[in-house]
Chain A
Amino acid sequence: MTTVDSPLLRMSHVSKSFPGVQALSDVSIQVKAGEILAIIGENGAGKSTLIKTLGGAHQPDAGCIEIDGQPVQLSNPIRAQSLGISIIYQEFNLVPFLTVRENIFLGRAIQTGQVINKSAERRVTNELFQRLGATIDPETTVARLSVADQQLVEIAKALHTNARLLVMDEPTAALSPAEVEKLFETVRELKSQGIGVIYISHRLDEIVAIADRVVVLRDGKLVADRPVHDTSRRQMIELMVGRSIENEFPKVEHATGEKCLSVQSLNWSNRVCDVSFDLHVGEILGITGLVGAGRTELVQLLAGVETPDSGTIKIAGQPVRFCSPRDAIRTGIALLTEDRKRQGLVLAHSANENFGLPNLDEFSTASWLNLKQESRRLADFTNTMNIKIASSRQLAGQLSGGNQQKLVLAKWLQRNCQILIIDEPTRGIDVGAKYEIYLLMNELVASGKSVIMVSSEMPEVLGMSDRILVMRAGCLAGEIVDPSSATQEQIMELAAQ
């Protein structure tokens, strides 16, 4: 039983190294029952290693872990689970074609003899959702749920295993602001029930909103452990980066030119309804809205991924009709998708193969590849864009999020696309690399290209755009002409209603 003075979890002086990397060195944290601890840090700071150590996937080289003051060995994931530690990873561990109930009871069914007692399972499932303040039909197939609801299923599953410490890794990465708010309510509810939560996120606003304490990791070391209400957003960033930064969003004001893209009454199934707007040379046009508002679908139409049912797209005054991404690329439109790993890169292939993929025409004479030219051009980009790769043969999957995004950007810059559509430009990218991506966006527009930036992160949209379009239910809900004097509340008002 929990004694008053021993915390739910205490990790003392934990170290872990991998060949060539000291992933964690002498890290001590503790979580009390009913406390929400945020862990922040750049990619590679040691957050994942810490989580995996807690989950029993990694064994620490040194240090000890105590639960309720009792030293424990988290020798494997099942052991960790039986001690009440539940981890919800970014990629959910749900079987998409089973029902909610079947997922929750997977591997531990309630049985009468050899027969599964469905009604008992349904009752328990409903009770779990009641605890979370959610209403989800236990017999729905998981694949048909929204990401937010799937997450609730994950949490319910964790509660079902009597979790007392819930570790959430970037839980809001794919959620809309309204869904984030709902998730927070759930997390607060869990807190009031005495469950400890470790909350990992790149989104500092959320940490300010939800966490009690924040731990900052940098290069495997713990650099700060302080109450959230004593720590400003800027301080958190400075602690993560290890130096002081002047401005989170290095927006450069500059004049924009004439229209380069003009969209009129674009419609597609019922996900994009009657959308019209213009894009100018040298402009960063922010498009925001809730998840499911049709932002991604809209830019997919512009990039030829999907074909609109009606409406026109004009490039430099000329109407165009795209049947495939290839058509759009040839007219100078590049789409950097939100999901780099699934859509942007071939992870198992080398940096130069990824870089060359849209540029094969240019790097070849009569189909014969000029490999030297290809690697020379990639080297140019790695120098100017500060992409950290060991060699051009390094696999894309081995790069950090920031370097992956830069590599994707490089391949489209080589293609010399005039209009770059960047969907969630900094998702999953750490603070330092974010800043560099913003600088690159500035350079792009300064050199006469135009950028459409789709983003859910309000501060980013406000901080970097020349103009903001807000979408709601497939339609344009409004336009903000002067982002520098706008507020997040204004955007939310347009986006939600």
Chain B
Amino acid sequence: MSKPKNNSRLGYFLNDYGMIVVLLVLMVVLSLVTIARQQPTGASAGKNIAKQINALKDPTEFLLITPQGKLDFEIAQGIQQHIDQRHTLVNSVHGGPREANLAIRAAREAGKKITVIACTSASAKWDPVKNAEAKKIIPSSYIWPNFLMPDNLVTIAQRITVIAIIAIGMTMVIITAGIDLSVGSLIALSAVVTGVLIRDCFGGKDAGTLGLWIAAIGGIAACVVVGFSTGFLVAAFRLPPFIVTLAMMLLVRGVANVLSQQRTIHEIPVAFDVLGKGYVLGIPIAVWLMFALFAVAYFVMSRTTLGRQIYAVGGNEEAARLSGVRVKRVLLIVYTICGLLAGLGGVIVCSQLRSAKANYGQMDELTVIAAVVVGGTSLMGGQGKILGTLIGAFIIGVIQNGMNLIHMDDKTQMIVLGSVIVIAVLLDRIKKGQVKWSDIKNVFTS
């Protein structure tokens, strides 16, 4: 409600998206707290080893000994790309101490003068390696926050994708002064319908791409039907959204249980992982999808007639109706969109876990609402920003991730998350100048 202090673009931006400051502060704090010695892995480890060997005066014949792992070949490749001609990589071994021992002996017997053994910090501790008469070279470590490791950042994004995508629909619903408590159950419904379709109609583990598409669309369609029904009940009978969606939450969870017969559906092909775990340009596909949906939603809310009407219905329903806005239609659309996005979220969960179960998404409706509220959307309706929700989702994701990084236990995490939500909305109120000292005093005095 307050006017920005200056009318510049930055002023409006900070007024609308002040939470971004909170997010940045959180990220800085977590970066500082999780600073640690990092061991390079993969190709960069290989490059590092090659550099150290290149620095030696004499030509060497050397071995590479690493534990079994998914990035070992990349170490070897990295070495070969960067090593000077005068050095020779005799053999590279990926395995345990036994394989290392055999390889060292085999090289010696073949008449190679092994003067250097390249290894990782783990394989350097193996007895055959430790006892070998050769110089051991391990990739030199560096200082960098665990929080800012690329893998970790992708993990955060991946973890909040589902919450953030559903929060788009929730933001729209809350802007119309409504609420949707059924989204957590819709995740389960969508996952279960998708899983059942794959298992029973498209051949389970042998399902083809087309079948997977149809199953996923089926899961989403089920949620669209539920969202549409919610919207219809709210618009046609003027029922309070809280009650309607509370009922839907129970009803839909029950249906998901019945459909899955309370069993986990595992008969899903590996190909289905693509949506949840596939990468394009180093970023998971689901994360791309999330960003794309936020871009679309941003433009819908700020630049289209529908967006304007959604805000108007929440800001003053009567004024909107008298201005010719079809209020009931707007409500119907908004709840349907929310159902659709919850359905999409369910399909992503199903893909990430390659299974479907009726207990998916429990309590997620609350995390979604928290993300929306932390993002600055008012539960009174009429106020809120889509990109604020994205920031809100990230704040919650970052906090959860940070607590995992510092090995906080589940119970403490709940306490912290609850406190953070309260503090975030309080900060928002204070920033907008809506908090008066006299109001606080009045709680006790009048």
A398-434 Cβ-contact flags toward B at 8 Å (1 or 0): 1000000000000100000000000000000000000
Interface contact B323-A348, CB-CB below 8 Å: no
Given contact pairs A326-B326, A360-B309, A371 touches B303 in the complex (Cβ within 8 A): yes
Question: Would A344 and B3 be within 8 Å (CB), given that A349-B315, A360-B309, A367-B304 are in contact?
Answer: no
Shortest CB–CB separation between residue A400 and chain B, in angstroms?
15
Q: Is B151 an interface residue (CB 8 A)?
A: no
Given known contacts A305-B322, A325-B323, A353 and B311 CB-to-CB distance under 8 angstroms: yes
Residues of chain A within 8 A of B131, CB atoms compared: none
A326 and B324 form a contact (CB under 8 A): yes
A369 at the interface (CB under 8 A from B): yes
Q: Considering the complex, give the chain A residue whose CB is closest to the CB of B302.
A: A369
Q: Is A103 an interface residue (CB 8 A)?
A: no
A361 at the interface (CB under 8 A from B): yes
Interface size bracket, A side? 35 or more
> Among B304, B319, B382, which residue has its beta carbon within 8 angstroms of that of A342?
B319
- B321 near A360: Cβ-Cβ < 8 Å: no
B308: chain A residues within 8 A (beta carbon) = 353, 356-357, 360, 369
Check B1–A348 contact: CB distance below 8 A: yes
Tell me the minimal C-beta distance from A131 to chain B in angstroms: 27
Contact call A395/B1, Cβ cutoff below 8 A: yes
Contact of A391 among B7, B306, B311, B320 (CB under 8 A): B7
Check if A231 is an interface residue, CB within 8 A of chain B: no
Distance A398 CA – B303 CA, assembled complex (angstroms) = 24
Please give me the residue from chain B that is nearest to A371 by CB atom.
Answer: B303
Interface string of A175-205 (1 = CB under 8 A from B): 0000000000000000000000000000000
Give min CB distance, A78 to chain B, whole Å. Answer: 6
Q: Is the CB of B316 within 8 A of A346?
A: yes
B304 contacts A335, C-beta separation under 8 Å: no
What's the least CB distance linking B325 to chain A, in Å?
7
- The answer, yes or no, to whether B312 is at the interface (CB within 8 Å) is yes
Query: A353 touching B312 by the CB < 8 A rule?
Result: yes
On whether the beta carbons of A345 and B304 are closer than 8 Å, the reply is no
- Distance, CA A335 to CA B318, complexed state (A): 13
Q: Kindly provide the distance from the CB of B1 to the nearest chain A CB, expressed in whole angstroms.
A: 6
Residues of A within 8 A of B306 (CB): 367
Which chain A residues lie closer than 8 Å to B326 at the CB level? 324, 326
Interface status of A239 (Cβ within 8 A of chain B): no
Chain A interface mostly? mixed
Determine if B315 and A397 form an interchain contact, defined as CB atoms under 8 angstroms apart.
no
* Interfacial chain B residues near A411, Cβ < 8 Å: 323
Indicate if A49 sits at the interface (CB-CB under 8 A): no
Instruction: Write out the residue numbers on chain B whose beta carbons fall within 8 Å of the beta carbon of A348.
Output: 1, 315-316, 382-383
Q: Within 8 Å of chain B (Cβ to Cβ): is A347?
A: yes
> Known: A342-B318, A397-B1, A398-B3. Contact between A349 and B303, CB under 8 A?
no
Tell me whether B315 and A325 are in contact (CB under 8 A).
no
Asked if A18 lies at the interface with its beta carbon under 8 angstroms from chain B, I say: no
Distance (Å) between the CB of B319 and the closest chain A CB? 5
Nearest to B303 among chain A residues (CB) is: A369
Q: B378 CB to closest chain A CB, in angstroms?
A: 9
> A-facing mask of B319-351, CB < 8 A → 1, else 0?
111111110000000000000000000000000
Residues of B within 8 A of A394 (CB): 3
* Chain B residue nearest in CB terms to A327: B324
Contacting B at CB under 8 A, from A223-244, are: none
Among B1, B324, B445, contact of A325 (Cβ-Cβ < 8 Å): B324
Q: Which residues of B contact A353 (CB under 8 A)?
A: 308, 311-312
A428 CB, min distance to chain B CBs, angstroms: 16
- The answer for the CA separation of A344 and B438 in the assembled complex, in Å, is 32
Task: State A347–B382 Cα separation when bound (angstroms).
Answer: 10
Q: Which residue of B lies closest to A394 (CB)?
A: B3
**Which residues of the partner chain B approach A368 to less than 8 Å between Cβ atoms?**
303-304
CA distance A361 to B7 in the complex (A): 29
> Chain A 289-308 against B: per-residue CB contact (8 Å), 1 yes, 0 no?
00000000000000101000
Contact check, A395 vs B312: say whether CB atoms are below 8 A apart.
no
Determine whether B85 belongs to the interface, using a CB cutoff of 8 Å to chain A. no
Q: Are B383 and A346 in contact (CB under 8 A)?
A: no
- Which of A76, A78, A346, A369 is close to B304, meaning CB atoms less than 8 Å apart? A369
Task: Count B interface residues, CB 8 Å.
Answer: 28
Q: Is the CB of B312 within 8 A of A357?
A: yes
Task: Select A335's contact among B309, B322, B382, B445, beta carbons within 8 Å.
Answer: B322
Interface of chain A residues 338 through 385 with chain B (CB within 8 A): 342-349, 353, 356-358, 360-361, 364, 367-369, 371
Are B3 and A325 neighbours in the complex by a CB distance under 8 Å? no
For A391, the chain B residues whose CB sits under 8 A away are 7
Is A337 interfacial (CB-CB < 8 Å)?
A: yes
In the complex, what's the smallest C-beta–C-beta distance from B389 to chain A, in angstroms? 18
Q: Which of B281-319 contact A (CB under 8 A)?
A: 303-306, 308-309, 311-312, 315-316, 318-319
Most interface-central of A342, A348, A367 (chain B CB within 10 A): A348
Residues of A within 8 A of B321 (CB): 324-325
A365 to chain B, nearest CB (A): 10
A347 surroundings in chain B (CB, below 8 A): 315-316
With contact pairs A395-B3, A397-B1 given, residues A346 and B319 touching in the complex (Cβ less than 8 Å): yes
Chain A residues lying within 8 Å of B324, measured Cβ to Cβ, are: 325-326, 329-330, 357-358
A349→B306 CA distance, assembly (Å): 16
Whether B320 contacts A361 by the Cβ 8 Å rule is no
Specify which of A76, A325, A361 is in contact with B322 (CB 8 Å cutoff): A325
Once A349-B312, A356-B308, A364-B304 are accepted as A-B contacts, the answer to whether A344 and B7 lie under 8 Å apart by CB is: no
Closest to A370 in B: B303
A367 touches B305 (CB 8 A): yes
Question: Which of chain B's residues have a CB closer than 8 A to the CB of A360?
Answer: 305, 308-309
In the complex, chain B residues whose CB is within 8 Å of the CB of A398 = 3
Report the separation of the CA atoms of residues A394 and B445 in the bound assembly, to the nearest whole angstrom: 36
Q: Answer yes or no: B419 CB below 8 A from chain A CBs.
A: no
Within the assembled complex, what's the spacing in Å between the Cα atoms of A356 and B321?
A: 14
The CA-CA distance from A286 to B289 in the complex, in Å, is 59
Residues from chain A with Cβ under 8 Å of B412 in the complex: none
Point out the residues of chain B lying under 8 angstroms from A324, CB to CB: 321, 326
What sequence of 0s and 1s flags, for each residue 407-446 of chain B, a beta carbon within 8 Å of any chain A beta carbon?
Answer: 0000000000000000000000000000000100000011
Q: Of A326, A342, A361, which contacts B305 at CB under 8 A?
A: A361
In this complex, the member of B309, B319, B438, B445 whose beta carbon has the largest number of chain A beta carbons within 10 angstroms is B319
How distant is the Cα of A77 from the Cα of B382 in the complex, in angstroms? 32
Closest to A340 in B: B319
B307 nearest in chain A by CB position: A369
Q: Contacts A326-B326, A335-B322, A391-B7; is A346 near B315 (CB within 8 Å)? A: yes
User: Nearest A residue to B304 by beta-carbon distance?
Assistant: A367
Measured between C-beta atoms, what is the minimum distance from B113 to chain A in Å?
74
Is A345 within 8 A of B316, CB to CB? Answer: yes
How many Å lie between the Cα of A343 and that of B320 in the bound state? 8
Instruction: Give per-residue flags for B358-393: 1 if the beta carbon is below 8 A from chain A beta carbons, else 0.
Output: 000000000000000000000000110000000000
Decide: A357 and B3 in contact? CB cutoff 8 A. Answer: no
Q: How far is the CA of A330 from the CA of B303 in the complex (A)?
A: 23
Which of B7, B304, B325 touches A357 (beta carbons < 8 Å)? Answer: B325
Bound complex: CA A361 to CA B312 (Å): 15
In the bound complex, residues from chain B placing their C-beta under 8 Å from that of A349 are 311-312, 315, 382
19 contacts between A and B (CB under 8 A): A76-B438, A76-B446, A77-B446, A325-B323, A342-B316, A344-B322, A345-B316, A346-B311, A347-B315, A347-B316, A348-B315, A353-B311, A356-B308, A357-B320, A360-B308, A360-B309, A364-B304, A367-B305, A369-B303
Interface residues in chain A, defined as those with a beta carbon under 8 Å from any beta carbon in chain B: 76-78, 303, 305, 324-326, 329-330, 335, 337, 342-349, 353, 356-358, 360-361, 364, 367-369, 371, 391, 393-395, 397-398, 411
11 further A-B contacts with Cβ under 8 Å, apart from A342-B316, A346-B316, A393-B7, are A326-B326, A329-B324, A330-B324, A343-B316, A346-B311, A346-B312, A348-B316, A360-B305, A364-B304, A367-B304, A369-B304
Chain B residues close to A by CB (< 8 Å): 1, 3, 7, 12, 303-306, 308-309, 311-312, 315-316, 318-326, 382-383, 438, 445-446
Instruction: Please list the 6 inter-chain residue pairs (A to B) with the smallest Cβ-Cβ separation, ordered nearest first.
Output: A346-B315, A360-B305, A326-B324, A346-B316, A357-B323, A358-B323
